[in-house]
Structure 1
Amino acid sequence: MVGAGQAGLATSCWLSRYGVDHYVLERRRELGGAWQDRWDSFFLNTPNFSFLLPELSYDGPEPDAFLPRDEVIRLFRDYAARIKAPVRLGTEVTRVGVVDGRFTVETNQGRWLARNVVLANGAFQRPRFPASAGNLPGHIRQLHSHDFRNAQQLPDGAVLVVGTGQSGGQITEDLLDAGREVHLSVSTCPDAPRRYRGQDVFQWILQVNLHGPEFGINGLQADHLPSPAARFMCNPLISGNGGGHGIHLRDLGRRGVRLHGRFEGTDDGGLVFSDDLPARLALVEAGFRERLGRMADAYIAAAGIDAPPAEPAPADEWLPADSGARLDLAAEGVTSVIWCTGYGLDFGFLDAPVLDKWNYPRHRRGVTEVPGLYAVGLPWLTKHLSATLSVVGDDAKFVAEHIAGR
């Protein structure tokens, strides 16, 4: 097993139940997976009720609450101990090759031979930067969200955050709370209400993932994606901080955040953004109701659930005074940029012809085209939530059963 995050540990738990000898190789020196790469004020976006891993489900008094980063890390360390996962820490896999129907696994701690290999090294592997990031002036401090921890890392001055996925929205709020002046480059990730039709919005998303097909609602199943590229679409703009809330870009603007369009590059000491901010904000605000909200409504109706009607979104026509199409770094006192531009998959260690043009393993329910090679914990492996605490355990069980059958 490559990786001891939630996917690796869940698969390890199932393999142990099926009596399959295995090891979990983890490059980090401490357990806790990619949660250790989140900023200091980070809270899970998913409520406590969403813990559905084998031998780890929430049964406490606050199912709708959210765990902070350090509690999440401790929880996974306790989980690994409870299931007696055979983890080898500080063991980085540098190559996986196939020889005579078996796998050679080369690591910084030596070479292994295995009948089966599970790729469980996560959905957050390689921080992505736009190519034009290298054109920014040298005195500008640049960080990816992967390396951001708190505002004290940054020099005095204004901060530009690029990207309004969940990380971009939450880091912007963190900087505002620290008293920083913030500019924000707006992408098209949809915002969403934290609660929808009487439940946390994640409850409906989870139910459509797990039970939607029973009622003919297949939009959150991987087999029904419009294209393979859609596996990398962004998630709704919500937060678990402060008891959980939605993040609305116009509200951030009213709080003083300077909104800009999509980042397009540099020009003579300034940054250039798309000149479509009003349309972009409208697209962000329509996204949830046109997709996830519509599927939730269809599921509620088909399943006969007694839920209150959806509240209409309040009309909001606030716009900034300027289009936000250009930013003069010196004039605005911008001294740092945080790139909240997501991650790319990285299987550079894998020496097997199994990756598609998006660097995603070709597979069927985690079983790849190479006999004995599996993948767990990737976005949209089988469902929208395949990389999350709620669904990764189901995918891990299927893979572990397949391995046991070999």
Structure 2
Amino acid sequence: MTPRAASPEKMHTLVIGAGQAGLATSYWLTQHGVEHQVLDRRDKLGGAWQDRWDSFYLNTPNFSFLLPDLTYSGTEPERFLPRDTVIGLFRDYAQRIAAPVRLGAEVLRIAQTDGGFAVETGRGAWLAHNVVLANGAFQLPRIPPAAVGLPPHVTQLHSHDYRNPAQLPPGAVLVVGTGQSGGQITEDLLDAGREVHLSVSACPEAPRRYRGQDILYWILQVNLHGPAYGINGLQVDQLPSPAARFMCNPLLSGNGGGHSIRLRGLGRRGVRLHGRFEGTDDGGLVFTDDLPQRLALVEAGFGQRLKLMADAYISAAGIDAPPAEPVTADDWLPSESGARLDLAAEGITSVIWCTGYGLDFSFLDIPVLDQWNYPRHTRGVTEVPGLYAVGLPWLTKHLSATLSVVGADAEFMAEHLAAR
């Protein structure tokens, strides 16, 4: 006889993901007395921070920890935490708030049933009245289709799988993308004495400090308090289009006490800068032939958006902040940067794709996703009763996926869920 499948476990609310969004959600559900279980595909707590490279530091200062029952009260609010400290911090947090986490429980399918949801996992099935999608924004590493044109002897890694320079074979390295990961991994390789080529994207540079504060301080204030002064540019309803939810974050680093990353500065250190990577052609790497224009675009980005909002907030709130430091013009350009690079002649043996992530809701057998694979929702409450989302970029505002805002979004969502 075929053994009978075990009956589904029943639970009032299931939270998918035990990263910062899932743990913040668990905290607030507990405060409201909501029976719940947190499911996570990983075997260990620590969320997506476990996917960062060895030398990684948080880009956000200690003062930006605003999770429920996890705020910073030490003597170094403007310092930055290394990866392993962050992982340990979240493991301690889960234990302190007694989050009911079940590890190694990858969710395979979620479908609607009468009065709730059927959830299939690698460790059994569940029936739940509510489901909270808290599986984060760093799920599917994006690698451009042009990657298939690279010869098989070239090692390819996404930033998701990069850990340190010793992982890579001897030879030069091409880093594709100049978001935060691309800039920081380039510095990591440089510090190890590696020869680096860097394909420049459109992510904006920004000063690490601006008008007397870490730039994240002003970004956080505009996120949290800007609307009270009529400054709404970092609220989700002010986005020019839904696609803008996936725009680049400013190019910054928390390493070495925190610093800006300037692409021209990397070039002066020996990094070979190129335009956007287009693909391969007969043993060559092809880039757009527009490096000067790209560098100008990257450098202008801060002044066109975040600077204006920070200045407007400082003025409207009547804050006595020092004036902005004058920006020194920099017209440095490499002596050569054509649109084509000979792979063999340059000795490039590795490519690291710092090209971001896509959302992964492939397990969701419910028609609630828009064309960008993003749940249709209002403040995390989806159009499907009982289905919620938290911890996604621009869920309610610019910093919704960060340690600073995810707790407040989780609190609102938990209140709505508890009132159902």
Per the shorter chain, which TM-score range?
Answer: over 0.9
1:14 to 28, 32, 45: 28
- Contact in 2 for aligned 1:91/1:109 (Cα 8 Å): yes
1:330 to 336, 339, 344: 344
Query: Is 1:167–2:146 an aligned residue pair?
Result: no
Which residue identity is paired with 1:346? D
SS of the equivalent of 2:313 reads helix
What residue is the counterpart of 1:28 in the other structure? Answer: 42
What residue is the counterpart of 1:229 in the other structure? Answer: 243
What residue is the counterpart of 1:145 in the other structure? Answer: 159
Distance 1:65 1:324 in 2: 40
SS of the equivalent of 2:36 reads coil
SS of the equivalent of 1:371 reads coil
1:80 to 94, 97, 106: 94
TM-score norm. by structure 1 comes to: 1.00
* Cα displacement string for residues 29-78 of structure 1 (whole angstroms, at most 9, x for unaligned residues): 00000000000000000000000000000000000000000000000000
1:285 to 287, 290, 299: 299
Q: Cα offset for 1:324?
A: 3.6
SS of the equivalent of 2:398 reads coil
Distance 2:340 2:327 in 1: 30
1:114 to 128, 134, 146: 128
Distance 1:94 1:157 in 2: 41
Distance 2:238 2:385 in 1: 25
Query: Is 1:240–2:216 an aligned residue pair?
Result: no
Matches within 5 A, 1:265-344: 265-344=279-358
Q: Cα offset for 1:316?
A: 0.4
What residue is the counterpart of 1:99 in the other structure? Answer: 113
Query: Is 1:90–2:116 an aligned residue pair?
Result: no
Q: Cα offset for 1:326?
A: 1.3
Distance 2:314 2:338 in 1: 40
What residue is the counterpart of 2:5 in the other structure? Answer: none
Distance 2:309 2:341 in 1: 39
Distance 2:196 2:35 in 1: 51
Q: Cα offset for 1:272?
A: 0.6
- CA RMSD of the aligned region, Å? 0.5
Distance 2:224 2:291 in 1: 36
Which residue identity is paired with 1:359? N
SS of the equivalent of 1:146 reads coil
* Cα displacement string for residues 255-312 of structure 1 (whole angstroms, at most 9, x for unaligned residues): 0000000011111111110111001000100101110011000000000000001112
* Cα displacement string for residues 174-197 of structure 1 (whole angstroms, at most 9, x for unaligned residues): 000000000000001000110000
For structure 1, list consecutive stretches of 5 or more residues without a partner in the other structure.
none
Which residue identity is paired with 2:204? P
Which residue identity is paired with 1:124? F
2:73 to 59, 63, 70: 59
Distance 1:325 1:45 in 2: 32
2:373 to 359, 367, 383: 359
Q: Give the total of aligned pairs.
A: 406
SS of the equivalent of 1:332 reads coil
Query: Is 1:178–2:192 an aligned residue pair?
Result: yes
Distance 1:349 1:366 in 2: 18
2:169 to 148, 155, 161: 155
Distance 2:404 2:378 in 1: 20
Identity, % of aligned positions: 80
Distance 1:130 1:398 in 2: 37
TM-score norm. by structure 2 comes to: 0.96
* Cα displacement string for residues 342-392 of structure 1 (whole angstroms, at most 9, x for unaligned residues): 000110000111000000000000000000000000000000000000000
- Contact in 2 for aligned 1:92/1:108 (Cα 8 Å): yes
